[in-house]
Structure 1
Amino acid sequence: MKIAILGLGVIGTTYAYAFQKAGHQVEHVLRDSKKSTAPKELSVDLLDGRYHSKGENKHDTYEVHVAEADSEYDFIFLSVRHGFVKEAVETLRKNNIKGTLVFFCNFWDTREEVQEWAGDYDYILAFPTAGGHMQEDHLDGVLFDHLMLEGEQKAHISNYADLTDLLTSADLKWEVPHDMVEWIWIHMAINAGVTSTAARSGNLENPEELALNLMNSSSELSLAIKAIRETLKVVEARGVNLKLYKAELLPYKIPAWIAGKAMKVMFAKNELTRKIMTLHNDKQDIFYCCQSVYQTGQELGVKMPILEANMKGISI
């Protein structure tokens, strides 16, 4: 298949690597200013979780191909920071680049707003389970064996089967939640609980250190669980029926002190989860996530003393 990735960011490029290795033609849509300086090749260090539960370390290279204007693709993956999605779609439109859009990002918006971003493009919502960071011509990433994908009935795209074929060819599984927009809100709420707890004691300048401190302390993790319970109330106040997401939310129902100890053990043993936590270093994304949930909670009158205290301690 012919696949486009918007930009040369960590998540898009990690999946691009998996698709290229599976034999697909992958190209990156870059701004004119970036085209001349784009590397021809990236060195890749990947903790790959597709074949073993503990993951395997891969050292490889990835060939970077740049997309031309007036091109057509089977799928165009957009993994961009919030606030830039509309602009990203505009870039595609301006360059007359066609294909089904796969929105691959965090957002706190409604389905109607997402529809507005897409305009006349067909689109589907999905969510990556990958992360890492990029330095110069080197990608240091983590890739899990599955991702989240909107169900066929809600997606309204004619080439849904092609998308699942693409994922299967790259040895990726997918899970379909009850509703993808609500699932992303829940994911953001959980993130806000965790990252606000990690960051409350310091500056977001060094997210890796904050993540390590959190993962090594069962009492900090217990506090994060309590913060998550508050942030989930914000999602509930937005009209989401949390009973439809029982499996995802089970860990946050058990007593916080037990959950904190269990999470500490899990982080110590699971290198994939540990590494994705320490490699998530996009300060703006972390702050957007916490701020969005907190602001909505205030607007909807949700009591959230722990999140409030956490937010007071965060500096960016």
Structure 2
Amino acid sequence: MKILMFGRGVMATQYGWALEKAGNEVEFYVRPGRSAQYGPYVDLDLLDGRKHKKGLPIRERWFIKMREEIRQDHDYDLIFVSVNHQQFDDAAKMISQRAGNATILIFNNVWDNQETVAAQLPKEQILWGFLGGGGGFRSKNKLEAGFMKSIYLESADAAASVKRHQDVMNLFQNAGFSVSLQKDMYVWYLQHFIMNAGMAAQALKEGSYQNLYKSPKYVKQAVLLMREMLPLIRAKGHKASLGTNLMLHLPAGLVSYGIYKIITGETLAGAIMERMENTAYIPQEAFAFFPRDVLADARRLKIDLPRLTALEKYFSQKD
């Protein structure tokens, strides 16, 4: 398959590497001037979760192909989109003008409904999903990151095209990933966004994610924030999954201790979070978008979120 990764970000780079290693042709779209700025290779320091639960260490200099324009008559089979939350609108606008016949695979955080988020894109070419990975660039071409074995993808029944869905399933399975199918991908997005918002708001209060993870009592405050936000899912016309309801209605101390052990223990998830924090690749302002968007929607829907409101000064838009 011929694949265009939109941007040379953390997720595009590490998953692009994995997909190329599986025999696919991978190229990166970057803004004009960025090819020279980045240079022709990326020094990879990855934890590959496909064959080892703690991540198989990968250290490799990977030479990549970059393109500073997307031709109207391109022959890409798939355009891979995983950008920072606030960058998605600009990415969608550009892709909409050059989609061709490619499948547009959106691996992004989503809060507004999917029709609104992707209004500029050809609906029949879109597939929705999410990835399990993260990290950061230590320098312009040194990536310290990691990824899980599983990716998340909407079910074939929900997909706009069964054939495109099957092609993407085959793509990732042939590359050694497992695919977790979601009957309602939008509910999955909402739940994930709420969890990000709770953790981000509390981390901003504590000064960093590393400070947040110093004690389960700090994580507990994040869990209480998540629990407070759950009614927003119903207010937006949807129903949280049974698993999410159970997790967030168990004693908060128990849930927070479980999260604390996963993130701070010798786990792949913990190692990925550590790499995200240590590289400081994503600035605090990017994390602030999560609680900011949730609180704005809560006010629109007249849902009271006193815990989140009390932390607003830590994530409000700076003048």
Following the alignment from structure 2 to structure 1, what is the Cα–Cα distance between the partners of residues 97 and 203? 41
Following the alignment from structure 2 to structure 1, what is the Cα–Cα distance between the partners of residues 264 and 92? 40
1:182 aligns with 2:182: no
* Aligned counterpart in structure 1 of residue 160 of structure 2, from 156, 162, 165: 156
Following the alignment from structure 1 to structure 2, what is the Cα–Cα distance between the partners of residues 127 and 35? 27
Cα shift at 1:261: 2.3
The answer for the alignment partner of 1:231 in structure 2 is: 229
- Amino acid paired to 1:138: K
SS for the counterpart of 1:291 is helix
Greater than 6 Å deviation, 4+ residue runs:
none
The answer for the alignment partner of 1:289 in structure 2 is: 290
- Amino acid paired to 1:114: V
1:4 aligns with 2:7: no
The answer for the alignment partner of 2:91 in structure 1 is: 88
1:85 touches 1:117 (CA, 8 Å); kept in 2? no
The answer for the alignment partner of 1:14 in structure 2 is: 14
Following the alignment from structure 1 to structure 2, what is the Cα–Cα distance between the partners of residues 218 and 84? 33
Q: Structure 1 unaligned runs (5+)?
A: 203-209
The answer for the alignment partner of 1:207 in structure 2 is: none
Taking every aligned residue pair, what percent have the same amino acid on both sides?
A: 26
Cα shift at 1:307: 1.3
- Range with greater deviation from structure 2 (184-193 or 256-265): 256-265
SS for the counterpart of 1:37 is helix
The answer for the alignment partner of 2:200 in structure 1 is: 195
SS for the counterpart of 2:220 is helix
The answer for the alignment partner of 1:137 in structure 2 is: 141
- Range with greater deviation from structure 2 (86-95 or 104-113): 86-95
1:172 aligns with 2:149: no
- Range with greater deviation from structure 2 (57-66 or 143-152): 57-66
Following the alignment from structure 1 to structure 2, what is the Cα–Cα distance between the partners of residues 121 and 178? 18
1:260 aligns with 2:256: yes
Root mean square deviation of aligned Cα: 2.1
1:308 aligns with 2:309: yes
Cα shift at 1:33: 2.8
Following the alignment from structure 1 to structure 2, what is the Cα–Cα distance between the partners of residues 120 and 246? 29
Following the alignment from structure 1 to structure 2, what is the Cα–Cα distance between the partners of residues 64 and 4? 12
Alpha-carbon displacement from aligned partner over 1:272-305 (angstroms, at most 9, x marks no partner): 2223333063434311111001111122222222
The answer for the alignment partner of 2:120 in structure 1 is: 117
The answer for the alignment partner of 1:205 in structure 2 is: none
The answer for the alignment partner of 1:206 in structure 2 is: none
Following the alignment from structure 1 to structure 2, what is the Cα–Cα distance between the partners of residues 100 and 125? 11
Q: How many residues align?
A: 307
